[in-house]
């Protein structure tokens, strides 16, 4: 007996596909509804999934062997997908990863092998450029870790190359954040400019060659003061914006943050506080949906060590819940 699954909009369409594939003798073993892939599933769209069976009988030993091989491959794919889903990976990505691996290698695959497959699938979410733009801007909700992230980047650069990256605090609201950045700047010997108005921000940016790391208030870009600051940045070339999000934030709150800061036009995401989250997996569907690559991973509060570039192996390790194997 040969089993195969089919997903279509209606029962009739699924049954038609099964009988065209398996022949008129195909019978339905089970029927249930599953979420549609991608954004449609988030909006509640469901597909009909049927499992159909056909008797690939003794008329052809080759066909029977092929059916048995296909069934083994399908079971192996299900096993890989189930292991990924148990780690928090959404069902669509888990199935993509499972089916991307060569069929003959799916049975008995190791955890390291699954991580490599996952890394391949997540490569598009890893911001590959390691250099700096002239102005690197960090936006995001309060408490996400913008100031600490900037301090870590500046400290790592100083330790690695000896270069002192300039810092700008474009924040007239969070006195504590400005003082925190001033403290880090003093330790690193980095120049710090505080710009509380758009005019002060323009002046701070004039004549600088960069790179500069720019901290912002945790206010929505729709706020008038934030909008005026962002207008100054939008008029300049060489500005790259990172949206800083905490991995421990619930998915619906993360979605709202993505919506709130859309007007800031971020092209990168920094995911922080991974030490407080079980996995990076819950945030991935949102970032894949919006095609926002990840630039940095904040893995703790220690400056400068708890920050790493978001490489495909690092993403795979944090998604699978095995961060210690990021370099494996």
Domain residue spans in the chain? 1-55, 127-310
Beta bridge partners of 28: 52
**Least confident stretch, 74-83, 122-131, 266-275:** 74-83
Radius of gyration, CA atoms only, the chain: 25
pLDDT of residue 155: 93
pLDDT of residue 277: 83
Helix (H, G, I), strand (E, B) or coil at 45: coil
Percent of the chain residues past pLDDT 90, beyond the cut:
23
**Least confident stretch, 69-73, 76-80, 165-169, 311-315:** 69-73
pLDDT of residue 149: 94
Q: Give the residue-averaged pLDDT of 249-264.
A: 90
More confident site: 197 or 137: 137
Q: Give the residue-averaged pLDDT of 25-32.
A: 83
In the predicted model, is pLDDT for residue 322 greater than 70? no
CA distance 274 to 271: 7
Residue with tokens 């008038």: 224
pLDDT of residue 309: 92
Q: Give the residue-averaged pLDDT of 214-235.
A: 77
pLDDT of residue 121: 86
Q: What is the mean pLDDT of the chain?
A: 82
- Going by pLDDT thresholds of 50, 70 and 90, the confidence category of residue 152 is very high
**Least confident stretch, 16-25, 33-42, 194-203, 272-281:** 33-42
DSSP state of 172: S
Q: Give the residue-averaged pLDDT of 125-130.
A: 82
Residue in 320, 314, 310, 266 with CA at minimum distance from that of residue 290: 266
In the predicted model, is pLDDT for residue 85 greater than 90? no
Contact status, residue 221 vs residue 236, Cβ threshold 8 Å: no
pLDDT of residue 271: 95
CATH classification code of 127-310: 3.40.50.300
- How many whole angstroms from its chain centre is CA 140? 16
CA trace torsion 315, 259, 212, 192 (10° rounding): -110
- In what side-by-side order are the strands of the sheet with 27-35? 2-8, 46-54, 27-35
Q: Decide the pairing of beta strands 166-170 and 268-272.
A: unpaired
Q: Give the residue-averaged pLDDT of 172-176.
A: 61
CA distance 95 to 276: 27
More confident site: 158 or 56: 158
- Going by pLDDT thresholds of 50, 70 and 90, the confidence category of residue 60 is low
Sign of CA dihedral 106, 111, 116, 122: positive
Which of 17-21, 55-59, 75-79, 151-155 ranks highest by mean pLDDT?
Answer: 151-155
Q: Decide the pairing of beta strands 192-194 and 2-8.
A: unpaired
Q: Give the residue-averaged pLDDT of 296-316.
A: 90
Q: Residue 72: enclosing H or E segment and its boundaries?
A: helix 61-86
pLDDT of residue 256: 92
Reported pTM? 0.73
Q: Give the residue-averaged pLDDT of 272-292.
A: 87
Sign of CA dihedral 122, 159, 171, 229: negative
Beta bridge partners of 239: 135
In the predicted model, is pLDDT for residue 198 greater than 70? yes
pLDDT of residue 255: 92
Torsions phi, psi for 66 (to 5 deg)? -65, -40
Helix (H, G, I), strand (E, B) or coil at 21: helix
In the predicted model, is pLDDT for residue 221 greater than 70? no
pLDDT of residue 154: 94
């Amino acid at each position: 007996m040969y089993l195969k699954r089919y997903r279509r909009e209606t029962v009739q369409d699924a049954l038609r596909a099964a009988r065209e594939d398996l022949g008129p003798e195909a019978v339905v073993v089970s029927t249930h509804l599953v979420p549609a892939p991608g954004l449609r599933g988030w909006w509640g769209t469901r597909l009909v999934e049927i499992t159909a069976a056909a008797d690939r009988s003794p008329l052809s030993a080759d066909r029977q062997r092929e059916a048995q091989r296909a069934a083994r491959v399908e079971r192996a794919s299900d096993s890989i997908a189930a292991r990924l889903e148990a780690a928090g990976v959404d069902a669509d990505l888990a199935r993509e990863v499972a089916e991307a691996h060569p069929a003959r290698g799916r049975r008995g695959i190791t955890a390291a092998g699954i991580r490599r497959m996952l890394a391949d699938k997540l490569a598009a979410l890893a911001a590959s450029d390691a250099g700096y733009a002239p102005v690197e801007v960090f936006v995001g909700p309060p408490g996400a870790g913008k100031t600490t992230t900037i301090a870590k980047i500046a400290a790592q650069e100083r330790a690695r190359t000896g270069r002192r990256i300039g810092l700008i605090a474009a924040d007239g609201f969070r006195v504590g954040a400005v003082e925190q950045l001033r403290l880090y700047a003093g330790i690193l010997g980095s120049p710090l400019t505080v710009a509380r108005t758009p005019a002060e921000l323009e002046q701070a940016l004039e004549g600088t060659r960069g790179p500069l790391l720019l901290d912002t208030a945790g206010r929505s870009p729709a706020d008038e003061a934030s909008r005026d600051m962002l207008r100054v940045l939008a008029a300049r070339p060489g500005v790259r914006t990172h949206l800083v999000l905490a991995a421990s934030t619930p998915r619906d709150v993360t979605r709202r943050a993505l919506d709130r800061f859309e007007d800031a036009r971020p092209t990168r995401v920094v995911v922080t506080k991974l030490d407080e989250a079980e996995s990076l997996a819950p945030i991935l569907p949102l970032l894949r949906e919006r095609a926002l690559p990840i630039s940095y991973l904040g893995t703790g509060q220690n400056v400068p060590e708890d920050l790493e570039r978001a490489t495909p192996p690092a993403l795979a390790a944090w998604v699978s819940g095995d961060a210690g194997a990021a370099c494996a």
